[in-house]
Homo-oligomer: A and B are copies of this chain.
Amino acid sequence: MIDINTIEQLLEEWMPHEDEGYGLLSEAMRYSVLGGGKRLRAIMLIESFRLFSGDTELERYTACPFACAIECIHGYSLVHDDLPAMDNDEFRRGSLTTHKRYGHAMGILTGDALLNYSVEIIARAGELLEKNKPDYYVDNIRNFMHATSILYANAGAFGMIGGQVLDVEGFGEGAVPDEDMLSKLCELKTSRLFQAALCCGAILAGADKNDVSLLEDIGCKMGLAFQIRDDILDVTASFEETGKDAGSDEKNNKSTFVSVFGIEKAKEKVKELYSEILDMLGKLPGDKNAFKTIFEKLYSI
């Protein structure tokens, strides 16, 4: 399995240097993206590529920059999510959130810069592929363009951002969300970027439609399991364990799987999803051990 240090090195390679650019922007971008995290989306993207292709050159020019781009997208979404008008969080991963560290306006601009930078990485990777590997370029540019389309469709108004809007606007005054509503919210806010990671990796490796579609389903369930587990940790784990204030969902008066169903039912649901994911994984080609390791780590609660 690709290890987290390799992802950190890739990010080092693609992110701007601290002394480049204007004011503290590059520093704040690095602070927001390089400040730890499990790199789940980047790892999933590259491991999904590897299910369908062993071409390390193609991986280097396509899956690797896409993995960095998706970390930038994830990073920007956290920076904006933490803003005072959103969740108003002071800590993330044990450090000050970006706007607490660099100021409110810089929080907005750093998020914008990261989303924009994700596109810069992808476009630059496309140009490098053309320049350095012209024969690969011709064969793979269609998949490259399709993966770009899938990534931003999942990250945007009809994906992750749509979920954030539902989260902010709620489900109508006084409405207590039921399981379907919470699942829909989670599918958008969390699953969509997991789905993007899995599908982009596969598409870049030339996977066929059926396998991409199966990965989309896996990503959906993974996101759900991940979010339920996150909700459980929010009430049970301490600041030292999660790097953020315990009970911050409760503080923000948010409906979560735990607040609606209680911890026991939430835990059961995670186990159920985990077993469904393993079943689906069995239908895919390639060596799936990396994914099993990821899932085991993630869903051991």
Contact = CB atoms under 8 A, between A and B. Distances in A.
Interface stretch (A46-54, A143-151, A217-225, A267-275): A143-151
A141 to B, nearest CB: 6
Interface string A107-135: 11101110111011001101100100000
B115 A157 contact: no
Contact of A105 (B85, B109, B141): B85
Given A86-B105, A108-B86, A123-B152, A23 B165 contact: yes
A163 interface: yes
Nearest to A162: B22
A127 B145 contact: yes
A152 B116 contact: yes
A240 interface: no
Given A23-B169, A105-B85, A166-B22, A112 B149 contact: no
Interface string A18-55: 00111111100100000000000000000000000000
Q: How many copies does the complex hold?
A: 2
Contact of A157 (B16, B124, B162): B16
A80 interface: yes
A106 interface: yes
A25 B165 contact: yes
B161 A80 contact: no
Contact of A130 (B16, B103, B145, B164): B145
Contact of A126 (B113, B149, B164): B149
22 contacts: A16-B158, A21-B158, A22-B162, A22-B188, A23-B165, A77-B112, A83-B108, A86-B105, A106-B169, A113-B157, A115-B115, A115-B116, A116-B155, A117-B157, A119-B148, A123-B145, A123-B148, A124-B149, A126-B145, A126-B148, A127-B149, A130-B145
Interface of A: 16, 20-26, 29, 76-77, 80, 83, 85-86, 103-109, 111-113, 115-117, 119-120, 123-124, 126-127, 130, 141-142, 145-146, 148-149, 152-153, 155-158, 161-166, 168-169, 188
Given A21-B162, A116-B161, A130-B145, 18 more contacts: A22-B165, A22-B166, A22-B188, A23-B162, A25-B162, A106-B168, A111-B112, A112-B161, A116-B152, A116-B155, A119-B156, A120-B153, A123-B145, A123-B149, A123-B152, A126-B145, A130-B142, A141-B145
